[in-house]
Amino acid sequence: MTCPICGSKTAPSYRPFCSKRCADLDLAKWLNGSYAIPASSEDEEEPLDQEAETPVAPRH
């Protein structure tokens, strides 16, 4: 198995990466939005105005 960032052989302690550096680079890509998981229209939430119409039980 090779590191998805640099292509080097993976290290067991950082699998699937070869080093902490590559693991951190991958995390940075997720955090800055370079990676994204596409959502289908079924996964989208209801608009907020529709949620407000749902009755809410009173809290005790």
Q: Is 17 annotated as a binding residue?
A: no
Helix (H, G, I), strand (E, B) or coil at 2: strand
Q: Looking at the DSSP assignment, which residues form a beta bridge with residue 2?
A: 9
For the chain, state the CA radius of gyration.
21
Q: Is 18 annotated as a binding residue?
A: yes
Q: Is 6 annotated as a binding residue?
A: yes
Q: Looking at the DSSP assignment, which residues form a beta bridge with residue 31?
A: none
Binding residues are: 3, 6, 18, 22
Binding residues for Zn(2+) are: 3, 6, 18, 22
